[in-house]
Amino acid sequence: MFAFRWETGARRYELTLEHDLLGDLVLRRVWAGKANRRGAGKMQVFLDEQAALREVEKVCARRQAHGYDLVRADYS
């Protein structure tokens, strides 16, 4: 459904929202350094689409507040 990517000079952050095989919405976040590729990730499952979209909005606002630039936004 959605895929976003933000970057700073040294870091990157990716966010995807899509349906899994059971039909639940899965919000996947991945963050890492650009130079060393070290990072981590987190997955959240949502049964309610509105709750998932509210979380996407929160993450988008947080990335901007932390100085990340949006470099990719895909909507399917």
φ/ψ of residue 12, rounded to 5 = -135, 155
| Token pair listed for 17 | 């929202």
**pTM for the full predicted model:** 0.87
Strand ranges of the sheet holding 11-19, from the earlier edge strand across to the other edge = 39-46, 25-33, 11-19, 2-7, 69-75
Query: At 76, is the pLDDT very low, low, confident or very high (cuts 50, 70, 90)?
Result: confident
Task: Give CA–CA dist 56/50, Å, rounded.
Answer: 10
Kindly tell me if the per-residue pLDDT of 1 is higher than 90. no
Phi, psi of 2 (to 5 degrees): -130, 150
pLDDT in tens, 36-72: 878 999 999 999 999 999 999 999 999 999 999 999 9
pLDDT tens-digit profile of 7-45? Answer: 999 999 999 999 999 889 999 999 999 888 789 999 999
Pick the CATH number of 2-75 from 3.40.50, 2.60.40, 2.20.140, 1.20.1250: 2.20.140
CA distance 55 to 57: 5
Domain residue ranges in the chain? 2-75
